[in-house]
Amino acid sequence: MPLLIKGRAIIEDRWTLLRDATSLDDVPGEAAVIVPLALWKSEHEALVTRKDVGVWLKPDDDPGVLAADIGSLPLIAIDFPKFVDGRGYSSARLLRDKYRFGGELRAIGDVLRDQLYYLRQCGFDAFAVRADRNFADAIGGLDDFSDNYQSTFARPVPLFRRRKGATGSDTGFSPE
């Protein structure tokens, strides 16, 4: 079974990523699978009743199309064909902040140690680090920084509301 960083642990991944599935014939009946958005849309009726189907998005897929399914989807994955393509960071923020997705949000594709901190801040909690990499090393990337200036998903209250003596933290948000 392939490995996955989930939270801060290295685990065996029970989900099968179906990169090229185009019809229900490509989808095993029993296993937990992650299907392309196009298939999810075309076979919505058949797939939505299953509790073990997640969806993966390409960088230019609009996360908003999943709005109606947000409450029932156990997993959404966002693909990074190249790590320098940063669209997935914004997709993640929208899924978490705007559509209130509470399930597993997974980064797939060209996922490397040096991007993990930023990915986590944007709402990812699972990282399918590229298989040729050392997962134990990669996990260190989650701790590259101890804090950040901005309001992020993982730490919504920006630093300027948390500095010593700062006031105005009246928005109901609390630090991580």
Binding site for another protein (CB under 8 A): 83-87, 89-91, 93, 98, 112, 114-115, 117-119, 121-122, 144-152, 156-161, 163-164, 166-168, 171, 173
CB nearer another protein, residue 15 or residue 153: 153
Residue 173: count of CB within 10 angstroms of its CB: 12
The CB-of-130 to another protein minimum distance in angstroms stands at 10
What gap in Å lies between CA 44 and CA 173, rounded to an integer?
A: 36
Of the pair 49, 146, the CB lying nearest another protein is at 146
Q: How far is the CB of 132 from another protein (least distance, A)?
A: 11
CB nearer another protein, residue 22 or residue 151: 151
**Which is it for the CA torsion 86, 17, 55, 139, positive or negative?**
negative
Residue 116 CB, shortest distance to another protein, in Å, is 11
Shortest Cβ 155–another protein spacing (Å): 10
CB of 17 to another protein, least distance (A): 22
Q: Which two tokens stand for residue 67?
A: 């709005």
- Whichever of 26 and 114 has its CB closer to another protein, that residue is 114
Of residues 23 and 167, the one with the C-beta less far from another protein? 167
For residue 12, the cross-strand partners are: 3
Distances (CA, A) of 121 to 16, 19, 40, 100: 25, 26, 27, 15
Distance of CA 171 to CAs 124, 140, 157, 174, Å? 24, 32, 9, 9
